[in-house]
Amino acid sequence: MIFENLAPLSEQYDAFFIDVFGVIFDGRKICDGVLELMKELKSAGKTLIILSNTTLVADACKEKYQALGLKKGVHYDTFVSSGEAFCQTLHEHIHGAETYFQAVSRNDEIFRNSGLREVNTIPDADFVYVGSLYTGKRLFPLRDLKTRSGVPIAMDDITSFDCHDIAGMDELAHLLDECLRFEKTLVIVNPDLFAIDTVGSEQIPLLCSGVVGEFYEKMGGKVVYFGKPYPAIYDYAEKFIQHDAKVAMIGDTPWTDILGGNTAGIDTSLTLTGVSGEFIKTMADDLSLTEKVEKLINEISPKMVHRDLKKFSQSPKHIIKRFA
């Protein structure tokens, strides 16, 4: 059964982990009806934890979304970002490190109180942090990706390629070659492969840093991921809810939100917006919505899952057309 929105399911749960991009935020504005629904849920005594794979720390996230009308205490209880959770628990996941190198783009905030020392060359670093592809020198829209011979690359095939074979990725390929040469571990604090965001007046899928980890692993490199679907961010988020609360994860991506919720042992609800919506748009018109969802979960999602999580389910307990 596919529900229109969360409302029919809300009474079943005490708390919700809610994804941001594609669920409550469309890359440009808060989605219609979201503020009203979240305020109603809060007033009904529900605990609402925003759970995002953004590498920004929590304070930066709160400021960004407050400017759009999403207010802590009114619409949600706590904002848990991948960047914040990593910042607070870094030494639990990267043992014995003393130095780091920042690649692609910088994120000084998550290292500010880490006690680690930044170095200027890869050989001197204990690990290499890969920052957001959004804030680097260029963006990578999925619709523009092609092989060096000019063949377009489909969204669901991105993980099948070596970055050396993709046009326009010379700089990234060189970075990964150097990391591999010196046997450096990559740290990816946003495991998303891509997300829907606004470029100019358009909302399009853009590559995220999680795909860099996929490329590096294919080359034989070691990667430490932090964020959905990996357990550490759920362990951190669960500190903000009562331990006996009935919790559901709501998200738009089977291979991060739903897989992560399933591995954390909580119920999951997939929204057919954001990433899921983008894939559904590309499917044949003669398929029913149910058939499109089955194709997304059973055929596409398994190709997008990081290799060490492939044994876990990407099937949601509930499917809703939209959050609100």
The CA distance from 189 to 302, in Å, is 21
Closest by CA to 190, choosing from 311, 284, 81, 277, is: 81
Of 128-137, 152-161, 197-206, 230-239, give the range with the top mean pLDDT: 230-239
For CATH 3.40.50.1000, list the domain ranges present in the chain: 2-84+229-320, 95-225
pLDDT tens digits, residue range 211-253?
A: 999 999 999 999 999 999 999 999 999 999 998 999 999 999 9
pLDDT value, residue 226: 92
State the pLDDT at residue 135: 61
| Per-residue model confidence (pLDDT) at position 58 | 87
Domain 95-225 has CATH 3.40.50.970: no
Across the chain, mean pLDDT equals 92
Does the pLDDT of residue 198 top 80, yes or no? no
Pairing of strands 194-199, 202-207: antiparallel
Q: What is the DSSP string of 203-248?
A: EEEEE-THHHHHHHHHTT--EEE-STTSHHHHHHHGGGS-TT--EE
pLDDT for 52 beyond 80: yes
Distance CA 274, CA 8 (A): 21
Which amino acid, 269? S
Binning pLDDT at 50, 70 and 90, where does residue 279 land? very high
Dist. CA 218–CA 201, nearest whole Å: 35
Q: What's the pLDDT band for 134 if we cut at 50, 70, 90?
A: confident
At the topology level, CATH places domain 2-84+229-320 in Rossmann fold (3.40.50)
DSSP per-residue string spanning 240-280: GS-TT--EEEEES-IIIIIHHHHHTT-EEEEESSHHHHHHH
Which of 208-217, 254-263, 307-316 has the weakest average pLDDT?
A: 307-316
The owner of tokens 């014995």 is: 96
* pLDDT at 321 exceeding the cut of 60: yes
| C-alpha gyration radius of the chain | 19
Could you tell me the pTM of the whole model? 0.91
Residue 53: predicted pLDDT? 94
